[in-house]
Structure 1
Amino acid sequence: MIHQYQLNGYNIVMDTYSGSVHVVDDLAYEIIALYEHTSREEIVRLMKEKHVAEESIRETLSAIEELITHGQLFTQDPYEKLADQLKSRTTYVKALCLNVAHTCNLSCEYCFASQGKYNGDRAIMSVEVGQRAIDFLLEHSGHHRNLDIDFFGGEPLMAWKVVKQIVAYARSKEQEYKKNFRFTFTTNGMLLDDEVTEFLNQEMYNVVLSLDGRKDVHDKLRTTVTGKGSYDHIVPKFQRFVQQRGDKEYYVRGTFTGNNVDFTNDIFHIADLGFDKLSMEPVICDPKEPYALTEKDLPEIYHQYEILANEMIKRNEQGTGFTFYHYMLDLSDGPCIQKRITGCGSGTEYLAVTPWGELFPCHQFVGDEAYSMGNIWEGITRPDLQCQFRENSCYSKSECKECWAKLYCSGGCPANALHATGSINGIYEFSCDVFRKRVECSMMAKVAETIREMEAAER
């Protein structure tokens, strides 16, 4: 399976199963489009009708056939049998999302967690529950040495003392169990201060900072509980935090909605504030919401992703570049094929823990009792649910079969599929369309970067 597209002056051909990416001239692009369903001599005839020299046509055909021989073009699918085998694999838990605070000091209108309450009671995780969650992970981690803990909410800084004690407890267990904990923290920044900054920079492998972009865009939906905008309060805190963080990992993560389909202006605004590791996600919400994104927005969303790719190319050349999460493609040393088939591991390798110790497949399922999988004392009490998630992959959905991007998205987010279709095995077409466009743009940017590096090396 291949995918061909033209963007920013490049003719790009992607081979799905080998992962090969080719930048070709116009003649090769046309011939590749014909190759699978047209005889060699018919291709020669058709190209000669376009006044192309026969010698050039046959040379191009030979080059294409050489790529096929070397398994870099029109490769067959070698992974379908592996996908079947992975359904019965033994999995161990290697990551937990600790919802330490089912409460928040903001009242973001689009919050999937119902302003931090997850459609339930407000609560703060106790130290005892947090420590038991660490024990649960150690007991169920099997051969995994690196274990991940995401501190999440609501706003986890509202459980600040608990977070510190959980981290200390986990660190005290590392040598005994020969494990290494990596912590991630997501915050809206309202409670950031020097003490918090010092601790996060010392202990957190990654920190995610929530900012939607321009002041008017951010303040429209990300307000305090009294209805005031939060932009002016958090931006100086984020700038100071990142300055002190040095070269450690962080992301400024935003959400774009129907209010700002021109979201690249928000990305560039954030970059111009001094942040160089960015992410901007499309809102997932009830399509009846006034800020919802719909299919009519897709042409402009596509256009915006192209603007983003071109601007990133320009800024990289100027030495003022930034990282965009969804444009990070490692073509030579990316995720293993098992991960590319099965995805994030929600419900199997990754679980969310509520303040009461209840287990869910991930943070986006919290509050939906149909997806309560057990608790940190008894473990998984719904193995049938875990089996459903284990079997979920880019090969378990008929709609994914002919999709060239399936080994980049792994079949999509189960939570988004559930909210859009009522089933974790469903397909959220809007999200698929957006994802494919992001892959095309990120691949084009990677092509431009590679060509620039090659030209620089030749000079």
Structure 2
Amino acid sequence: MINLTLCLTHDCNLRCGYCYAGRKRPVSMSVETAFRSIDFGLEQARKEGKALGRQPEILIGFFGGEPLLEWDLLRKCRKYAEKEALRSGIRLKWTLTTNMTLLTEERVAWLMEKGFRLGLSLDGNAAMHGVWRKYPDGRNSHGDCAAALEWFKGREHRADLICVVNPLNVRHLADSVRWMGETCGLDIMLNPDFGARWTEEALETLSSAYEEIGREVLRSYQAGRPLTLNVIQSKIAAYVKGGYEACEMCTLGEREIAVAVSGNMYPCARLVGNDDNESLRMGNVWTGEDWKKKMTLSAARGNKNPKCFFCPLRPRCLQWCGCVNYVTSGRTDWVGEFTCFHERLSIRVADDVAETLWEERNPWFIREFYSGTLPAAGGEEEAGAVEEK
């Protein structure tokens, strides 16, 4: 499936200190460039579907800046893509990443009706959120974001909370996870700020917070109300499956297309930034793809760090993520030190949770990871998550 992301604007109504989306300025994508981008993405999906002998699919996402600043353009894009995809027999999926402050009950209803899955940026409780996610005048945006959660009750499977963990807000992380778990039923995506400077003290705080979060997840399963966090459940699922599947891994330079306001194309929305990095640019929707650049980026995907080659955790590690590699090491094919630390920590905490729940034969755990049936053969060593060696 082709993943097309339209960065509708470089502008934003917040000034989050860790933002990787570049300098904020009032420059937005034209309707013509947006439609041209959609045409380009649909054509890529059509070609892929034909090559694979199946119905073509495309996931169209909206990003920024803050995409809801361009609400009218977003709606026009949705209408145009729906019309063109219907004509071509292409299946559409939709995503939107938003800081939540411009959501209204009417907008949420429209997005749900139109089949969007939303990524909602919310850095936990007011104390954690307020460290970075502020309005230009310095006000904490947490109150406006928390109020919007009311409109997602009963729609929990249609949105995720995106919580960015940074060295300066990590001290509030465990309390924030508890608050988010008690406030709503949305899945929580903990996204470490990979580009930040993580001191030894900050890493120790992160480790303690993850261990407490693991205990919180364990308690939630035991209480019959599982709390879902990507850093826990994804690692357990990866163990059960024998590692991440190919469809879950990075397709940098191949199936990922992020289009900047200018129409310039990049291999990932995280790499658009100020739209001034020629080494990551794959062409422009008006002039076409730069095939040489695209092939170079595709070839530089994965992980060539030799210390990772024989690591037993490699199948369950995000060492294949090109954009994370780039912000931590400056190379899309080289894992940085913080990534290694974070992945080992996540796997260790996830395994502690999984082993306890397996020993207890927790029904919620069994249903989620083993389709409700105990594995038939192999015993606990094969069924439970393994400890990090």
Q: Normalising by structure 2, what TM-score?
A: 0.83
Q: Could you list the per-position Cα deviations for residues 301-347 of structure 1 after superposition, in whole angstroms to 9, with x for gaps in the alignment?
A: 2232222122111111112322112222325558874346xx31122
Contact 2:265 2:283 in 1 (8 A): yes
Q: Distance in 2 between matches of 1:220 and 1:381?
A: 40
Question: Which consecutive residues of structure 2, in runs of 5 or more, have no partner in the other structure?
Answer: 50-55, 367-372, 375-389
Greater Rg by CA: 1
Question: Which consecutive residues of structure 1, in runs of 5 or more, have no partner in the other structure?
Answer: 1-92, 288-292
Q: Identity over aligned residues, as a percent?
A: 24
Partner of 1:267: 177
Count, aligned residues: 352
Partner of 2:121: 210
Of residues 319, 339, 353, the one that matches 1:411 is 319
1:159 partner SS = helix
Amino acid at match of 2:124: G
Closer/same/farther in 2, CA of residues 333 and 143 from structure 1, 3 Å limit: farther
Following superposition of structure 1 onto structure 2, how do residues 14-413 of structure 1 map, counting pairs within 5 Å?
94-114=2-22, 117=24, 121-141=25-45, 142-144=47-49, 145-237=56-148, 239-243=149-153, 246-262=155-171, 263-287=173-197, 293-329=198-234, 330=237, 331-332=239-240, 337-339=245-247, 343-366=249-272, 367=275, 368-394=277-303, 396-409=304-317, 411-413=319-321
Q: Distance in 2 between matches of 1:345 and 1:242?
A: 31
Q: Distance in 2 between matches of 1:227 and 1:454?
A: 46
Closer/same/farther in 2, CA of residues 134 and 321 from structure 1, 3 Å limit: same
Amino acid at match of 2:114: E
Q: Distance in 2 between matches of 1:307 and 1:413?
A: 27
Partner of 1:5: none
Q: Could you list the per-position Cα deviations for residues 325-381 of structure 1 after superposition, in whole angstroms to 9, with x for gaps in the alignment?
A: 2222325558874346xx311221101101121101112221222211101133321
Contact 1:95 1:349 in 2 (8 A): yes
Closer/same/farther in 2, CA of residues 334 and 174 from structure 1, 3 Å limit: farther
Q: Distance in 1 between matches of 2:21 and 2:300?
A: 26
2:208 partner SS = helix
Q: Could you list the per-position Cα deviations for residues 173-223 of structure 1 after superposition, in whole angstroms to 9, with x for gaps in the alignment?
A: 233222111111111111111221111111244101111112122122111
Contact 2:162 2:189 in 1 (8 A): yes
User: How big is the alpha-carbon RMSD for the aligned residues of Structure 1 and Structure 2?
Assistant: 2.4
Partner of 1:40: none
Amino acid at match of 1:135: D
Amino acid at match of 2:335: I
Contact 2:302 2:321 in 1 (8 A): no
1:427 paired to 2:304: no
